[in-house]
């Protein structure tokens, strides 16, 4: 005798995971897809779950504090930076469709060799963004960007060159915030979707489908301590937001982890700014694995991202760890910001 499942029973088992979502998106938008892309993304989700398990036990394991070395940017590496990078390198290394990776923690791009054929994808990532915050229990995250491997000349004579593609070429981008809960947000160019990690089942479960950034917000986010060294037009714009002349009272929120500051901007609207400063005249954030992925997500959600004069995703990169100023947020704030920078360009 067969037993039929009642609707109530079925509801108890309904769960939409990020893997299911990616597969469904692939079937909808690329019906000829082989599943290879989903396999790659599952490597990233696995690596982030490994990192999240460590982050959650940070005070219990000997993983807080500095690892005792500096990365290519001259920044002190935290022990968790090293672990998170290793998790990504391992999980992507065992996926034969990944040709090349580049990370904040490695000076050069890494070409996975010994494959039967060329891999199709290039993955760029910041394994643990905001890691200087880890010892004080503030949100950190992982950011990633996926490009197609240019296959004309495989293996490439210089792997670094193959990663130098503008953001408009991204096939997918995403991030994970290890915050009060762990959330993964991604886009493949068909909207922005968010998944919360359910620790009881160990899966990222759909929680925010088709995220839209509010057209205007009430929050601006920048490191006020650098005020004196911001270019004049940036100070004028920030004064404008502070003064109420924008027609609303803005609040300031600055976490100091791009991934968390951006996530708030995505959900609440407003603007995040990391302008050129005296100590970082080219900006601080990295174009390929910080600015480009969040810019792709912002645009897909209805927002905008610029370096002050150019759309972030159109910048042609010259080096893998290139820095850029980053202004990103809701349409209304970004349009107003551009009026301030255009005045300077016209002068
Ligand atoms: P990291 O990738 O080494 O952690 O550094 C980047 C971080 C960003 O997450 C954040 O937006 C920025 O540095 C904060 O910089 P500052 O302390 O200068 O405000
Ligand atoms: Mg970072």
What is the per-residue pLDDT across 196-226, written as a single tens digit (0 to 9) for each?
999 999 999 999 999 999 999 999 999 999 9
User: Residue 210: what pLDDT?
Assistant: 96
Of all protein residues, the one whose alpha carbon is nearest to atom 15 of ligand 1 is: 256
Query: CB of 130 closer than 6 A to ligand 1?
Result: yes
Provide φ and ψ at 220, rounded to 5°: -115, 155
pTM: 0.92
Is it true that 15-208 and 219-346 share their CATH fold?
no
pLDDT of residue 68: 64
Least trusted range by pLDDT, from 36-40, 262-266, 328-332 = 36-40
How high is the pLDDT of residue 53? Answer: 94
pLDDT for 154 beyond 90: no
> Is the beta carbon of 105 within 6 A of some atom in ligand 1?
no
- Whether residue 284 has its Cβ less than 6 Å from ligand 1: yes
User: Would you identify the CATH topology of the domain 15-208?
Assistant: Fructose-1,6-Bisphosphatase; Chain A, domain 1 (3.30.540)
State the pLDDT at residue 72: 63
**Is the minimum distance from the CB of 258 to ligand 1 under 6 angstroms?**
yes
Cα(301) to centroid of ligand 1, in Å?
23
Q: Cα dihedral sign for 199, 194, 258, 322?
A: positive
Ligand 1, atom 6, residue with closest C-alpha: 130
Q: Is 72 in the pocket of ligand 1 (CB under 6 A)?
A: no
The answer to whether residue 5 scores a pLDDT higher than 60 is no
Percent with pLDDT over 90 in the chain: 70
User: Which CATH number applies to 219-346?
Assistant: 3.40.190.80
- The pLDDT, as a whole number, for residue 132 is 85
Mean pLDDT of 301-313: 97
Q: Kindly tell me if the per-residue pLDDT of 281 is higher than 70.
A: yes
In order of 75, 103, 238, the CA distances from 106 in angstroms are 12, 5, 35
122 neighbors 101 (Cβ within 8 angstroms): yes
Whether 127 lines ligand 1, by a CB cut-off of 6 Å, is: no
- Give me the pLDDT at residue 342, please: 85
What is the pLDDT averaged over residues 324-336?
Answer: 98
Which of 10-19, 32-41, 63-72, 320-329 is modeled with the greatest confidence? 320-329
At 1, the pLDDT band (50, 70, 90 cuts) reads: low
Residue 258 has pLDDT above 90, yes or no: yes
| Nearest ligand by distance to the CA of 328 | 1
Mean pLDDT across 237-263: 96
Give, using CA atoms, the residue closest to atom 12 of ligand 1: 256
Ligand lying nearest the CA atom of residue 264: 1
Spans of all domains in the chain: 15-208, 219-346
- Ligand 1 pocket test: pick from 76, 144, 225, 258 the residue with the most ligand atoms within 8 Å of its Cβ: 258
User: Which two three-digit tokens encode residue 166?
Assistant: 């503008």
């Amino acid at each position: 005798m067969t037993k039929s499942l009642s609707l109530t029973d079925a509801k108890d088992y309904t769960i939409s995971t990020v893997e299911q979502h990616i597969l469904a998106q692939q079937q909808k938008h690329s019906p000829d897809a082989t599943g290879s892309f989903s396999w790659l993304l599952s490597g990233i989700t696995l690596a982030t779950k490994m990192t999240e398990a460590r982050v959650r036990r940070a005070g219990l394991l000997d993983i807080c504090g500095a690892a005792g070395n500096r990365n290519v940017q001259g920044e002190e590496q935290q022990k968790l930076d090293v672990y998170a990078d290793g998790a990504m390198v391992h999980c992507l290394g065992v996926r034969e469709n990944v040709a090349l990776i580049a990370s904040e923690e490695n000076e050069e791009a890494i070409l996975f060799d010994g494959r039967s054929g060329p891999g199709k994808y290039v993955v760029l990532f910041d394994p643990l963004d905001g890691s200087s915050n880890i010892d004080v229990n503030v949100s950190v995250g992982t950011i990633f960007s996926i490009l197609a491997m240019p296959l004309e000349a495989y293996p490439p004579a210089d792997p670094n060159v193959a990663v130098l593609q503008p953001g408009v070429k991204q096939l997918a981008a995403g991030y994970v915030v290890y915050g009060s809960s762990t959330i993964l947000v991604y886009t493949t160019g068909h909207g922005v979707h968010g998944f919360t990690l359910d620790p009881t089942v160990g899966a990222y479960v759909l929680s925010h489908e088709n995220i839209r950034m509010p057209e205007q917000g009430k929050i601006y986010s920048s490191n006020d301590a650098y005020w004196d060294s911001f270019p004049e037009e940036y100070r004028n714009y920030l004064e404008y937001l502070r003064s109420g002349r924008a027609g609303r009272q803005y609040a300031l929120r600055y976490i100091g982890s791009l991934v968390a500051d951006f996530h708030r901007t995505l959900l609440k609207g407003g603007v995040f700014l990391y302008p050129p400063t005296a100590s970082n005249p080219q900006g601080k954030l990295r174009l390929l694995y910080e600015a480009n992925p969040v810019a792709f997500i912002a645009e897909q959600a209805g927002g905008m991202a610029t370096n002050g004069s150019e759309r972030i995703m159109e910048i042609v990169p010259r080096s893998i760890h290139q820095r850029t100023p980053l202004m990103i947020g809701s349409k209304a704030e970004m349009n107003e910001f551009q009026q301030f920078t255009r005045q300077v360009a016209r002068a």
